[in-house]
């Protein structure tokens, strides 16, 4: 194990521990339950793999990808948590984010199933980098959907949620780029990939540690307005746009 | 290779969106007084400053061009055309900006509702985009071919933006301040006078 790997590993475990301790100490662990479940799972996995690496280093290589998939799946929970928090009082927007989650992750798992059935030599363990990249792409698509919707409707977020998004985004973005380059260039890129992957993860943990140092959910939104009022607003705007379109059509005929 | 390019694009797009997310300005408070006042000012500037028929007719009046063609030298003619082009471009840019403000106002209002109609919102977004695109096309047409390039389009932008105002007016009616009736301003009844 190189000094850099050793440093990243230990720093990661330390930061994960700090994030968990701060949440327990500040009594907001339950507020972001899925996020902390993910942190707890990576904390357990990193500690376990660290000791395996000391006791039986040969086993670590095989275990790494399996553990990685478990934490990758738990990482989807972080996206679910982000969507839940950002669209807390917006039922429809939350539904859109969940649908995009279901569609993208469903498509990836369907692809894996098709590969597993149709290609006899294909298996998840040997194509783990492929699979990880595809899952990271699915995460990126959902994250971009959430950011687009939040930006479009100007939804305010607190420091905690902003940090969660930024940390996850940096890690997912860097992972996609490095995994894609690794698959293109091959094993020559392995060292660089390993450094990018661990550094971006450490960056994500640092962002999370700062953003979630204390409970800060952001400004409380105004109570939502009833559906009847929305129908009035939508009706008015529909009426307006109907006449706009009519006039646009007239222009094209002129 | 296609897969590689696609994943590379997704990765770069995510990092770019994150950059703008971090850099993004402060979002105004939901339905804040400032937001409502800005919407009111935008409406006023559209209705009374940018869209009156007389103003639109004056900017794009063909009679002016014909008069200058008959009475002035070629240098004056080209100066006239250049100035009219600048004015018409400034006009269409301001109309576009005002429509953008109104669109932002609609979105700012829509976010207050817990249950939006997805199809309606999607349709509205497409239609707003279409109107903005017409403004942009008009801007390009005016830039390339001068102020008398697309009279039909000018009328459309003015008329449709006018309709936008009329309907937005309804949702902002409560912001109109009623003038104080001098007869009712009696200190003997209320204890104070304005």
Q: Is any Cβ of chain B less than 8 angstroms from the Cβ of A66? A: no
Give residue B160's pLDDT: 60
Residue A242 and residue A163 share a domain? no
CA distance B109 to B131: 20
Residue A111 and residue A56 share a domain? yes
- A188 contacts: CB under 8 Å, gap ≥ 6: none
Contact B124 A221 (CB under 8 A): no
**Contact indicator for A240, B160 with CB cutoff of 8 Å:** no
Q: Where does the pLDDT of residue A171 fall: very low under 50, low under 70, confident under 90, or very high at 90 and above? A: very high
DSSP state of A188: G
Write out the H or E segment, with its range, that includes residue B117.
Answer: none
Give residue A96's pLDDT: 84
Q: Where are the domains of chain B?
A: 32-173
Residues in B touching A169 (Cβ below 8 Å) = 14-15, 17-18, 21
| pLDDT tens digit sequence for A178-234 | 988 887 887 788 888 888 888 899 999 999 999 999 998 877 666 555 556 666 666
**Contact indicator for A68, A60 with CB cutoff of 8 Å:** no
**Nearest CA-CA distance, residue B17 and chain A, Å:** 7
A134 lies in which domain range?
3-216
In this prediction, residues A26-37 reach a mean pLDDT of: 91
Q: Is any Cβ of chain B less than 8 angstroms from the Cβ of A86? A: no
Residue A133 and residue A178 share a domain? yes
Closest listed residue to residue B50, CA positions, set B147, B159, B128: B159
| pLDDT tens digit sequence for A238-248 | 565 555 455 44
Residues 166-225 of chain A with CB under 8 A from chain B are 166, 169-170, 172-174, 176-177, 179-180, 183-184, 219, 221-222, 224-225
**Contact indicator for A189, A182 with CB cutoff of 8 Å:** yes
Residue A194 and residue A248 share a domain? no
Residue A244 and residue A156 share a domain? no
Residue A152 and residue A238 share a domain? no
Residue A150 and residue A119 share a domain? yes
Contact B123 A238 (CB under 8 A): yes
Contact B7 A225 (CB under 8 A): no
Please tell me which residue, A168 or B68, carries the higher pLDDT value: A168
Q: What angle do CA B92, B96, B99 make, to 5 degrees?
A: 140
Residues in B touching A229 (Cβ below 8 Å) = 113
Give residue B178's pLDDT: 46
In this prediction, the residues of chain B whose per-residue pLDDT falls under 70 are 25-56, 112-116, 149-194
- In the structure encoding, which two tokens stand for residue A57, read together? 């280093």
CA distance A136 to A139: 5
**Contact indicator for A23, A4 with CB cutoff of 8 Å:** no
Average pLDDT taken over every residue of chain A: 81
Alpha-helical segments (H) within chain A: 3-26, 33-55, 57-86, 91-118, 128-152, 159-185, 190-211, 227-253
Residue A230 and residue A204 share a domain? no
CA distance A204 to A166: 8
Contact A154 B111 (CB under 8 A): yes
Residue A36 has pLDDT above 70, yes or no: yes
Cα dist. A61→A56, A68, A75, A133 in Å?
A: 10, 11, 21, 18
Give residue B13's pLDDT: 92
Percentage of chain A beyond pLDDT 70 is: 82
Closest listed residue to residue B87, CA positions, set B75, B77, B79, B99: B79
In a mutational test of the B interface, the residue from A186, A251, A252, A253 whose CB has the highest number of chain B CBs within 10 Å is A251
Residue A232 and residue A159 share a domain? no
The count of domains in chain A is 2
Residue A104 and residue A206 share a domain? yes
Q: Is any Cβ of chain B less than 8 angstroms from the Cβ of A93? A: yes
Give residue A115's pLDDT: 75
Residue A161 has pLDDT above 90, yes or no: yes
Give residue B36's pLDDT: 58
Give residue B45's pLDDT: 59
Burial of A110 (0-12, 13-18, 19+ CB in 10 A): exposed
- Does the ipTM exceed 0.95? no
Average pLDDT taken over every residue of chain B: 70
Residues in B touching A89 (Cβ below 8 Å) = 114
**Contact indicator for A124, A70 with CB cutoff of 8 Å:** no
| pLDDT tens digit sequence for A67-126 | 777 787 788 889 989 998 888 877 778 888 888 888 888 887 787 778 777 777 766 666
CA distance A201 to A167: 8
């Amino acid at each position: 194990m190189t000094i850099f790997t050793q440093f990243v590993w230990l720093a990661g475990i330390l930061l994960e521990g700090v994030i968990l301790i701060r949440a327990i100490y500040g009594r907001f662990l339950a507020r972001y339950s899925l996020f902390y479940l993910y942190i707890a799972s990576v904390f357990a996995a990193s500690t376990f793999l660290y000791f395996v690496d000391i006791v039986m280093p040969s086993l670590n290589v095989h275990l790494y990808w399996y553990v990685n998939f478990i934490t990758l799946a738990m990482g989807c929970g972080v996206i679910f948590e982000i969507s839940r928090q950002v669209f807390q009082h917006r039922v429809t927007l939350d539904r859109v984010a969940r649908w995009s989650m279901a569609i993208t992750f469903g498509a990836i798992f369907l692809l894996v199933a098709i590969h597993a059935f149709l290609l006899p030599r294909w298996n998840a363990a040997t194509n783990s980098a492929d699979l990880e990249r595809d899952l990271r792409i699915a995460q990126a698509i959902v994250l971009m959907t959430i950011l687009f919707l939040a930006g479009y409707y100007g939804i305010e977020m607190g420091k905690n949620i902003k940090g969660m998004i930024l940390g996850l985004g940096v890690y997912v973005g860097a992972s996609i780029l490095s995994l894609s380059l690794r698959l293109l260039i091959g094993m020559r890129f392995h060292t660089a990939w390993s450094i990018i992957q661990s550094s971006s993860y450490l960056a994500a943990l640092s962002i999370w540690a700062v953003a979630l140092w204390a409970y800060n959910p952001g400004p409380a939104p105004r109570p939502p307005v009833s559906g009847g009022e929305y129908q009035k607003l939508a009706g008015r705007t529909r009426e307006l746009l109907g006449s706009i379109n009519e006039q646009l059509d007239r222009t094209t005929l002129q | 290779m296609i897969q590689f390019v696609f994943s590379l694009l997704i990765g770069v797009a995510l990092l770019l969106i994150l950059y703008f997310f971090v850099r993004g300005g402060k979002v105004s408070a939901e339905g804040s007084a400032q937001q409502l006042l800005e919407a009111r000012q935008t409406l006023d500037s559209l209705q009374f400053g940018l869209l009156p028929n007389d103003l639109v007719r004056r900017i794009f009046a063909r009679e002016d061009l014909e008069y200058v063609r008959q009475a002035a030298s070629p240098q004056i003619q080209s100066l006239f055309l250049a100035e009219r082009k600048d004015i018409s471009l400034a006009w269409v840019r301001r109309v576009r900006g005002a429509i953008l403000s109104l669109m932002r106002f609609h979105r700012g209002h829509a976010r207050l509702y817990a249950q939006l109609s997805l199809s309606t919102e999607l349709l509205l977004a497409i239609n707003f985009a279409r109107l903005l695109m017409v403004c942009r096309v008009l801007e390009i047409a005016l830039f390339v071919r001068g102020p008398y390039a697309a009279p039909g389009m000018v009328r459309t932008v003015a008329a449709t933006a006018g309709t936008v105002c009329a309907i937005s007016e309804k949702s902002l009616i409560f912001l109109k301040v009623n003038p104080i009736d001098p007869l009712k301003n009696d200190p003997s009844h209320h204890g104070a006078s304005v």
